Structure 1
């Protein structure tokens, strides 16, 4: 059983935060500091990248392993009989959805922000193939070219001919680059994950950024909200609104988490 890596700050109801990318929580600190004014914020670090493991070998990741790790974190921090709020963003929202399926008894409300698991879209197979192409571009041309291709996928447009072309990273370079780790070991399995379309036992909210309107993951969040019987809400910024607008994003998140609504009614921060 692997070691658990997480940080805790604040007081109040427990809120588990699952970062995106390769799970490095460092960039979420400004948002987490605001959230800690209302919650006991537990920031999960699935690969231990912020806890001394950056540079160590990484294998292809499984959504179920991140979900199981999140469950173990909850077991470690939650008092007997209590449940937690959960917020996952980008890749981190995929294990949040899996956690909802596997361990609803530990949860109060799950917010999944722009999950990239696109298989339930009407054109899901094509979109999953597009993400696989991003991974192939990374292996052939390096992270800059892959990032340009992924931006085109998210914006649902044809990649530009002028996209940067680079060289693949060495294994040593890859292991010290969280973005590269995501492209190498997280993106393919997490975009291939298929959420289970069954009524949740706890409240579920799908979220997308206001700046993401008209883009793939905004559309996906809306479809998932309908398919998974959840609410839909907009939050500030785009796909990385947690980093772009940490204070406003945290304030919208607090309002969404703590607003009680009737089933099927989406709160608006």
Structure 2
């Protein structure tokens, strides 16, 4: 089982293909399993790297955690993995949802490690204008409170309405109920407790991002571009003098449209 040790954790990862390294950073699920079908398509052009973020699935904690700097640690973990797989060479990175916030932080903390980074629908509250920002922040806080009071199942229903199309929410709901992943319950608990209250409320460091704007590809989705997370990359791109690309499917297009999704990534990453 391929893994690397980082401060306070051991990271599990897998690779497919050859060529330039393309690291795929997952969102709320925390596990690289969500990218399996897309990664297999990307393997024709890249060394596609999937991994479980620390605390999720097979990437287990080995020591004390500094949760006050968890986002920075997540970004540093990605840097360690890139250095392990492509020492001394900048790599390509794709991050989706909260994984896009990790990828953005990776760019800001370790810009020399990145050749190009695609930020797919980061749920970054601070990037939204004041009108839609307040309700999105409030609903995100409510989702966390519902989790604390009623558990993950009840909280997910509110989160579905906030971030997913109806058809996509139903697909994820069926997958969760099937219990196909033995780590899914633990992953949900860890995400609600340690990530939801932090990542969506990260700072929008516009001036710092502007220094590296040539490396960034902002990506929304064909079916969810009007939802908050879908609007964020469009707003950020316009703010930084660029235009967001449109990827197939909705927020989880890498699951529902893996062939077309991978083809679009290749098109804009090369």
> Normalising by the residue count of structure 2, what TM-score does the alignment of the two structures yield?
0.80
Asked if structure 2 preserves the Cα contact closer than 8 Å seen for 1:22 and 1:186, the reply is no
Q: Distance in 1 between matches of 2:226 and 2:262?
A: 23
1:51 deviates by 2.3
User: What SS does the corresponding residue of 2:218 show, helix, strand or coil?
Assistant: strand
User: What SS does the corresponding residue of 1:5 show, helix, strand or coil?
Assistant: strand
The reply to whether residue 75 of structure 1 matches residue 86 of structure 2 is no
1:52 deviates by 6.4
Asked if structure 1 preserves the Cα contact closer than 8 Å seen for 2:26 and 2:98, the reply is yes
Asked if structure 2 preserves the Cα contact closer than 8 Å seen for 1:22 and 1:181, the reply is no
C-alpha spacing 1:255/1:134, structure 2 compared with 1 (3 Å): same
C-alpha spacing 1:130/1:84, structure 2 compared with 1 (3 Å): same
Q: Distance in 2 between matches of 1:52 and 1:196?
A: 29
Q: Deviations for 1:76-113, whole angstroms, at most 9, x for unmatched residues?
A: 11133x21010001111101001111111111111011
Alignment map for 1:151-170 (pairs within 5 Å)? 151-154=160-163
Matched with 2:114 is: 107
Matched with 1:159 is: none
Q: Unaligned stretches of 5+ in structure 1?
A: 157-172, 259-269
Count how many residue pairs are aligned between Structure 1 and Structure 2: 240
User: What SS does the corresponding residue of 1:41 show, helix, strand or coil?
Assistant: strand
Asked if structure 1 preserves the Cα contact closer than 8 Å seen for 2:12 and 2:59, the reply is no
Q: Distance in 2 between matches of 1:256 and 1:120?
A: 23
> 2:156 pairs with 147, 152, 155, which one?
147
Matched with 2:169 is: none
RMSD (Å) for aligned C-alpha atoms: 2.6
> 1:223 pairs with 227, 232, 235, which one?
235
> 1:244 pairs with 248, 252, 256, which one?
256
1:121 deviates by 1.2
Matched with 1:122 is: 129
Asked if structure 1 preserves the Cα contact closer than 8 Å seen for 2:13 and 2:50, the reply is yes
Q: Relative to structure 2, which stretch is displaced further, 90-99 or 44-53?
A: 44-53
C-alpha spacing 1:88/1:155, structure 2 compared with 1 (3 Å): closer
Q: Distance in 2 between matches of 1:88 and 1:214?
A: 19
